Structure 1
Amino acid sequence: MNVLIVYGTTEGQTRKVAEHVAKDVSDRGHAVEVLDAAESDANVDLNDFQAVVLAGSVHQEQHQKAVKNFATAHSEQLDSCPSAFISVSLSAALEETRPEAQRYVDQFVELTGWQPRMTLLLGGAVRFTEYDYFQEQVVKFIVMKRGLAAEDGGDREFTDWSALDAFVDEFLERAAS
């Protein structure tokens, strides 16, 4: 099976997620192509792929514009093949804020018109070492408000890699049938 993975990232965690998915897909004997939605050719022919995974991160309560544009432009083709959406956010990291993370996905689906066959809410990461002073203050406020603060104030990853692996397994199983 030939699988396309399209991602949008702001701080790099969703790229890391997309690369992890690509390795899982490849390790299972499938061909895989990975595209950054911000850099990819909008005219990619989805007919060349038997399955598509789209991954985007949430910032300021929205997924990246490039990811929304890709899903909107290709919604009919995405609906006609096995397709999945991975939404990466800090809201997905805690059980009590998962409804908020689901709202972001619901808004994305409503806006783009694409109905992914599978979705995964996946925790993201904070990278204080990469933020300027103002970004750091905003992220610290959000992280502390949600009870996700690292004890040392350093970078922290909230991605559940085991959940991602299980998601990829299920997606590939469904796509093959």
Structure 2
Amino acid sequence: MNILIVYGTTEGQTGKIAARTATRIRERGHQVELRDSAAPASDLKLGHFDAFIIAASVHQEHHQETVTNFVFAHHDALSNKPSAFISVSLSAALGDQKTQAQKYVDQFVSVTEWQPSMTLLLGGALRFNKYDYFQEQFVKFVVMKSGDPSPERDHEFTDWNALADFADRFLETAG
């Protein structure tokens, strides 16, 4: 199977997640092309792909505009073949905010009118060295409110085992 993974990343965690997904799929004997939605791709032809995985992180309650634009531009191809959506957010990692993480996905699906075959809510990472002052204060507030790990250092919330299981299940259903 030939799979296209398109991702949008702000601080790099979703790029890391997309790369790990691509590695898992290659280990299972499939071909993968990995594309950053922010990079121009006028030469991209979707017809030869058998399935699609879209990964995007949530910032300020929305997924990346470049990912939204990609889904709009390629709605037919994404809708006519097996497809999956990985939504990366801090809300997905915080137990009391899973409902909010699902709302971000529901909003994305509603806006784009794309219905992926599978969806994964996945925790991202805190990268304090990449935040400006206001972003840092907001994240510290959210983390302190939830009682989760120290807001004083970078922290990775991604459940890599859940991602591997998701990739395997997607291959089973898409194949």
Question: For the superposition of Structure 1 and Structure 2, which TM-score range results when normalised by the shorter chain?
Answer: over 0.9
Mapping 1:1-177, distance limit 5 Å: 1-41=1-41, 44-150=44-150, 153-176=152-175
C-alpha distance in structure 2 between counterparts of 1:94 and 1:42, whole Å: 38
| 1:45 to 1:165, Cα distance in 2 relative to 1, 3 A | same
| 1:62 to 1:43, Cα distance in 2 relative to 1, 3 A | farther
Q: Give the SS at the match of 1:46.
A: coil
Q: Give the SS at the match of 2:47.
A: helix
Which is worse superposed, 91-100 or 104-113?
91-100
| 1:87 to 1:136, Cα distance in 2 relative to 1, 3 A | same
C-alpha distance in structure 2 between counterparts of 1:28 and 1:59, whole Å: 32
The one-letter code matched in structure 2 to 1:119 is T
Structure 2 residues without counterparts, runs of 5 or longer = none
TM-score by length of 1: 0.94
Q: Note the aligned Cα RMSD (angstroms).
A: 1.3
C-alpha distance in structure 2 between counterparts of 1:83 and 1:40, whole Å: 22
- TM-superposed CA distance for 1:148, in Å, is 2.4
The one-letter code matched in structure 2 to 1:161 is W
The one-letter code matched in structure 2 to 1:102 is Q
The one-letter code matched in structure 2 to 1:156 is H
- TM-superposed CA distance for 1:18, in Å, is 0.2
Which is worse superposed, 35-44 or 88-97?
35-44
Structure 1 residues without counterparts, runs of 5 or longer = none
The number of equivalent residue pairs is 175
- TM-superposed CA distance for 1:43, in Å, is 5.8
Identity %, equivalent residues: 59
Q: Give the SS at the match of 1:115.
A: coil
Could you tell me whether the CA contact under 8 Å between 1:128 and 1:136 is conserved in 2? yes
C-alpha distance in structure 1 between counterparts of 2:22 and 2:40, whole Å: 16
Could you tell me whether the CA contact under 8 Å between 1:140 and 1:149 is conserved in 2? no
Provide Cα deviations, 1:151-177, integer angstroms capped at 9, x if missing partner.
7x110000000000000000001111x
- TM-superposed CA distance for 1:119, in Å, is 0.1
- TM-superposed CA distance for 1:42, in Å, is 5.2
Could you tell me whether the CA contact under 8 Å between 1:42 and 1:70 is conserved in 2? no
Q: Give the SS at the match of 1:11.
A: coil
